[in-house]
Structure formats: C-alpha cells, structure tokens
Structure 1
Amino acid sequence: MFLGTHSPKLDEKGRIILPAKFRDELASGIVVTRGQENCLYVFSSREFEELHDRIRQAPVTSKIARDFLRVFLSGASAETPDRQFRITVPANLRTYAGLDRELTVIGAGNRIEIWDAEAWNTYLSANEETFANTTEEVIPGLF
C-alpha cells in the first residue's frame, strides 16, 4: 500500500526518483498514466493489470466508459526504474499534469499520484476544510 507525501524534483531529462518506501512494490515495473484533477497515476505493473482486467469489463456500448478508457489507456506508459530508481515521465504526461521541477508525490493506497507541487498545494488547500467538515457517509460502511 502506498502512503505519505514526498517532494522529489523533476530533473532536466524528465526523470524523478521514486520514494524509497515505494520501491519494493514497484521494482518489477510500473505504469504511468493520466490521472484525474490533472495529476499522474503510477501503478505497479501487477496492479495495472488487475485494474485493466476490471475496466475492460465496461460495456462497449457505454459512451462514457469508452471515453474514459480512451483517455486513461492512451496516456499509459510502461516504465522500468533504473538503478537509482528513477523513472522517465513521458513529455505528453508532463504536459498534461503541468509538471515543473518541484513535485509532490503522494501515496494513494493502490497507486501513487504525481502532482506539480503548486497544483497539489492549491488542491489540498481547496479540499482540506471540506474533508475536515464532512458529516455524511462518503465511503459506504466506512466514513
């Protein structure tokens, strides 16, 4: 499970060093793709395969499912971390997420999210109060 907040930097070649605490789960390969709210999602290869097995069950007759799959999968890039555990973030994904040198990488359970640091701070500021003041059930049976 991926947890926590980290602040790596994007180098001049478009690479980032993934946090050490995530390495065991990601050592066999990763998939980077477009995420929602203009961040990037990073999945272990195993998790991405499981996710793909679930999402490909969406009915081909559903336009919203087709649209989602096209955007989600067309941005996907399989990457293998190097010895320093750097990965290259493809240029099209860096552009999509508006990534600059300063990044925020968060653990989001089954995935990692890569954010431009300023975009993450804006998102967090806009959503922290709502989170703190949520009074209705958001996740059935849990919160």
Structure 2
Amino acid sequence: MNSITGTYECKVDAKGRLMLPTSLKKQFKSLEDGFVLKRSVFQPCLELYPMKEWNEMMLKVNKLNRFVKKNNDFIRRFTAGVKTIEVDSAGRLLIPKDLLVFSKIEKDIVMSSAINIVEIWDKGLYESAIDNATDDFADLAEEVMGNLFENGDGIS
C-alpha cells in the first residue's frame, strides 16, 4: 500500500464499534488480513495499521537491541495497548474499551489518513489539534519540507 487518502467523520456506537467508510475500505488491499490498533505515541488518538504495514514496522522495531534500556523502554511504550482487530461481516471495527478510554472517544470521531495508517480521533480533540497547529504549520512545513528538493529533481 502506497498511501491512504482522506478524512472521514464517523460515529462509534455504545459498544465501541465503528463502520468503516466505503471509500476508506476500498483503499485497503484486503480487509481479511486484519489490522492492528494502538495508542499514538505523540497524540491522544489511535493508530490503525493494516496488517502489512504493522508487520513492516515490527521488522524495524525487532532490529533494536533489547539489552539497551532505552530500546527496551521504547518497545514497551510503543506496543502498549496494541490490539489485533478484524472487520466484522457488517464492515465494522470494534475499538477495545481501554483504547476508547485512552483516546477519550465517546461518539463522534474523525478517521484521518496519515500516509500508510489511519488516525482515529475524538472529533473535538481532532479539531482542537488542527486548530492549535495552524499558527505553527507554515514554519513546520518549511523546516520539514523546505530542503527536500535541493537536488533539483523535485518540484517546489
């Protein structure tokens, strides 16, 4: 999978189930492979990894030397709350209770593409995060992307 595109507003039912938007489902090569759902490292949201993407991430993590304390601490925190989940016959994902609590998801959510994964946010927290980042985004974009095309083979 190269990338996932789109931002979708959805609802979670009382049992923590959410219906995957049709246009998002079409972007996944296979729903049968399942997904991994985990806490985000930097934000109060969840990250939905297609299983192929998760396996590629785990190949990188598995290269870390577990006899280095920082590596071991990172692995523990990175994998905290990780759950394997599947799409049910009705096209829904079940968000486990502990991950609902972590992300403060109650009903209205936003599913937002983040290159090869999907972030799942409480709608209010998502809007707040986007609003708070507006002032700094121009500086951030320049810092992160500003030197990307120095070799002359890109666009600017």
Q: In the TM superposition, what is the alpha-carbon distance from 1:85 to its structure 2 partner? A: 1.5
Measured in 2, the distance between the counterparts of 1:46 and 1:68 equals: 21
Q: In the TM superposition, what is the alpha-carbon distance from 1:141 to its structure 2 partner? A: 1.8
Please list the CA deviations of residues 89-110 of structure 1 after superposition, one character each: whole Å capped at 9, or x if unmatched. 0111111111110111101111
Aligned length: 143
Preserved contact between residue 34 and residue 71 of structure 1 (Cα < 8 Å): no
Q: Which runs of 5+ in 1 are unaligned?
A: none
2:23: which partner in 1? Answer: 21
2:153: which partner in 1? Answer: none
RMSD: 1.9
* Match of residue 45, structure 1, among 36, 39, 51: 51
1:116: which partner in 2? Answer: 122
* Match of residue 106, structure 2, among 71, 93, 100: 100
- Normalising by structure 1, we get a TM-score of 0.90
- Ranked by relative contact order (alpha carbons within 8 Å, sequence separation 6 or more), the top structure is 1
Q: In the TM superposition, what is the alpha-carbon distance from 1:18 to its structure 2 partner? A: 1.6
- Normalising by structure 2, we get a TM-score of 0.83
1:50-129 matched pairs, under 5 angstroms: 50-129=56-135
* Match of residue 141, structure 1, among 132, 139, 148: 148
Which amino acid letter does the alignment assign opposite residue 6 of structure 1?
Y
| Regions of 4+ moved over 6 Å | none
Q: In the TM superposition, what is the alpha-carbon distance from 1:84 to its structure 2 partner? A: 2.4
Which moved further from structure 2: 131-140 or 100-109?
Answer: 131-140
Identity of aligned residues (%): 26
Which amino acid letter does the alignment assign opposite residue 85 of structure 1?
G
Which amino acid letter does the alignment assign opposite residue 39 of structure 2?
R
1:30: which partner in 2? Answer: 35
SS at match of 1:141: coil
Q: In the TM superposition, what is the alpha-carbon distance from 1:133 to its structure 2 partner? A: 4.1
Measured in 2, the distance between the counterparts of 1:31 and 1:8 equals: 19
Which amino acid letter does the alignment assign opposite residue 2 of structure 1?
I
Q: Which runs of 5+ in 2 are unaligned?
A: 150-155
